Structure 1
Amino acid sequence: MSRTSDVLLTALAPAVWGSTYLVTTEALPAGYPITMAALRALPAGLLLLTLTRCLPPRGWILRSFVLGSLNFAVFWALLFVAAYRLPGGVAATLGALQALMVILLARGWLGTPIRASAIAAAASGVLGVALLLLGPEARLDPIGVIAGLGGAVSMAAGTVLSRKWQPPVSALSFTAWQLTAGGLILVPFALILEPALPALTTTNLAGLAWLGLIGAAASYALWFRGIARIEPGAVSMLGMMSPVTAVVLGWVWLGQSLSMLQSTGAIIVIAAVLAGQRANRPRANANPLAAPPLRATAS
Structure 2
Amino acid sequence: MKARDTLDLILLAAIWGASFLFMRIAVPAFGPVALAFVRVAGAALMLLPLLAWRGEFGALRRHWRPLLVVGTTNSALPFICFGYATLSITAGLAAIFNAATPLTSATFAWAWLKEAMTRWRLLGLALGFAGVLGLAWHKAGLRGSGVDLAVLLAIVACLAGTLLYGFSASFTKRQLTGVPAMALAAGSQGAAALVLAPLAWKQWPTVPPGAGPWAAAIAAALLSSGLAYVLYFRLIARIGPTNAASVTFLVPVFAVVWGGWLLDEAITPAMVLGGLVIIAGTSLVLGLLPRRRA
Bucket of the pairwise TM-score, normalised by the shorter protein: 0.7 to 0.9
Change (3 A) 1:85 1:270: closer
Residue 230 in structure 1 maps to residue 241 in structure 2: yes
**Separation in 1 of the partners of 2:20 and 2:137?**
16
Q: Which deviates more, 76-85 or 46-55?
A: 76-85
Contact 1:118 1:280 in 2 (8 A): no
Correspondences of 1:138-287 after superposition (within 5 Å): 138=141, 139-140=148-149, 144=154, 147-164=157-174, 165-169=176-180, 171-196=181-206, 198=208, 200-201=210-211, 203-224=212-233, 229-230=240-241, 238-239=247-248, 241-278=250-287
Residue 118 in structure 1 maps to residue 121 in structure 2: yes
Structure with the larger RCO, 1 or 2 (CA within 8 Å, 6+ apart): 2
**Separation in 1 of the partners of 2:230 and 2:133?**
28
**Separation in 2 of the partners of 1:25 and 1:270?**
23
Q: Which deviates more, 215-224 or 21-30?
A: 21-30
> With structure 2 as the length reference, what TM-score do the two structures score?
0.74
Contact 1:251 1:258 in 2 (8 A): yes
Unaligned runs of 5+ in 1: 284-299
**Separation in 2 of the partners of 1:134 and 1:99?**
21
Match of 1:26 in 2: 25
SS at structure 2 position matched to 1:258? coil
Change (3 A) 1:268 1:6: farther
SS at structure 2 position matched to 1:18? helix
Deviation at 1:37, TM superposition (A): 1.0
**Separation in 1 of the partners of 2:7 and 2:278?**
16
Unaligned runs of 5+ in 2: 142-147
Which amino acid in structure 2 is aligned with residue 230 of structure 1? Answer: P
Match of 2:41 in 1: 42
**Separation in 1 of the partners of 2:111 and 2:131?**
27
| Sequence identity (%) | 25
Match of 1:290 in 2: none
**Separation in 2 of the partners of 1:214 and 1:57?**
23
Match of 1:76 among 68, 76, 79: 79
> With structure 1 as the length reference, what TM-score do the two structures score?
0.73
Deviation at 1:99, TM superposition (A): 2.7
Q: Which has the larger helix fraction?
A: 2
**Separation in 1 of the partners of 2:46 and 2:66?**
20
Residue deviations 1:80-112, cap 9 Å, x none?
334446777886665444333211211244332
Which amino acid in structure 1 is aligned with residue 251 of structure 2? Answer: S
Change (3 A) 1:49 1:35: same
SS at structure 1 position matched to 2:287? helix
**Separation in 2 of the partners of 1:89 and 1:253?**
12
